[in-house]
Amino acid sequence: MQPLNDRVLIKVDEALKKSEGGLFIPEAFRETTQTGVVIRIGESCEAAIEPGDRVMYHKYAGVLVSIDGADHLVVKTEDILATIEEAPHVDE
């Protein structure tokens, strides 16, 4: 799937299935995430994002689609709120 114009295709991060304490969270109570990885960008996308970037998007943004069994969103670039940089790993 190739998004058009200023739209971006994002693979949505999966909701947590287990709490930090190790308890399983029933599917009905799992919170949806607002983060994901940019898969493709439209040809007129002028935002400073590229495929592979982790991003946070507006909660009610876009159109949800399923591709190969995984949730994806097609959003406008204006609905992307931030890029997420991974914290550096510190060896102790």
| Segment 80-87 mean pLDDT | 84
At 46 the pLDDT is: 78
Average pLDDT over residues 37-63: 90
Three-state helix/strand/coil letters over the chain: CCCCCCEEEEEECCCCCECCCCCECCHHHCCCCCEEEEEEECCCCCCCCCCCCEEEECCCCCEEEEECCEEEEEEEHHHEEEEECCCCCCCC
Q: Read off φ and ψ for residue 29, nearest 5 degrees.
A: -105, 0
Provide the pLDDT for residue 85: 85
What is the pTM (predicted TM-score) of this model?
0.76
Percent of the chain with pLDDT over 70: 73
* Domains, in order of start, for the chain: 7-16+30-81 (2.30.33.40)
Q: Residue 29: what pLDDT?
A: 57
